[in-house]
């Protein structure tokens, strides 16, 4: 059974900004990753961990996960396993993440 994907308003605005700036590779990577997140089985989780470097953040961001859409492009998301919901929070750089 697939997880429900809920993009936040911030995520949608950031994705639009990437689209308008012509960074097609980020949009394509996000689409592939979102499909894997929705499937959320053993194989897709393995792919996310190995190919997209998916991991949980530490410290005050505990509970939030990040994966790499590009060299310095990170997708932030949260998982509600009980409700089977994945909330896409934002797309940021490492520098932006440190400022949050």
Tens digit of pLDDT at every position of the chain (100 positions): 799 999 999 999 999 999 999 889 999 999 999 999 999 999 999 999 999 999 999 999 999 999 999 989 999 999 999 999 999 999 999 999 988 8
**Structural domain spans, the chain:** 4-99
Q: Residues 36, 44: contact at Cβ < 8 Å?
A: yes
Whole-model pTM: value is: 0.93
Question: Is domain 4-99 classified as CATH 1.10.10.10?
Answer: no
Return d(Cα 70, Cα 85) in angstroms, integer: 24
Helices assigned H by DSSP within 21-71: 24-39, 42-51
Return d(Cα 84, Cα 100) in angstroms, integer: 26
Which DSSP category does 71 fall into?
T
């Amino acid at each position: 059974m697939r997880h429900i994907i809920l993009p936040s308003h911030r995520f949608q605005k950031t994705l639009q900004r990437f689209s308008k700036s012509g960074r097609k590779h980020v949009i394509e990577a996000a689409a592939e990753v979102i499909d894997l997140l929705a499937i959320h089985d053993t194989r897709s989780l393995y792919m996310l961990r190995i190919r997209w470097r998916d991991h949980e953040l530490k410290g005050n961001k505990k509970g939030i996960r990040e994966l790499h859409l590009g060299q310095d492009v990170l997708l932030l998301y949260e998982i509600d396993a009980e409700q089977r919901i994945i909330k896409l929070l934002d797309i940021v750089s490492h520098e932006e993440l440190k400022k949050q």
